[in-house]
Amino acid sequence: MHDTESRADEALDRAFMALADPVRRGIIARLSRGEATVNELAEPFSISVQAVSKHIQVLEAAGLVTRTRDAQRRPVHLAPEALERLTSWIDGYRLAHEQRFRRLDAIVQGPAAARTRTASSENETTNTNNAKKEKKS
């Protein structure tokens, strides 16, 4: 089963999993327009307030939102840094893939052009996370 999983992996697990639900994405969308309480966030949905409260706990555990205190209300706020980490992770591999294609094109279109890869190795290490340490055994 899930024996050993690094901290960075678990953080990405929670963050992506948190976004894999339309209710939670709706909450993110709402919060992008400003903070809101649990009851306010629950209003557009046809589920119980308790269910929304759980969703918010999932988002909070994923670091995607934070909470403050205002009397008996607990306003929820967006945490855009966490969202930025997700786009960074995705873009790391997406851009690496596209750049690899650019190199392939260079190779196909001429042997001399393939050597331009050595000069343009800037984006090869832009991954924010480990790409090779996925083994558990």
- Give the integer Cα–Cα distance in Å for 59 and 24: 7
Asked if 35 and 75 count as a contact pair (C-beta separation under 8 A), the reply is: yes
Nearest to 18 by CA among 74, 77, 82: 82
Residue 85 binds DNA, judged by CB under 7 A: no
Nearest distance, CB of residue 13 and DNA, angstroms: 8
Angle at the Cα of 11 (from 61 to 72), degrees rounded to 5?
Answer: 15
Residue 67 binds DNA, judged by CB under 7 A: yes
Q: Which is nearer to DNA, 40 or 91 (CB)?
A: 40
Residue 78 binds its own copies, judged by CB under 8 A: yes
Residues that bind DNA (CB under 7 A): 1-2, 17, 20-21, 23, 37-40, 46-51, 53-58, 67, 71-75
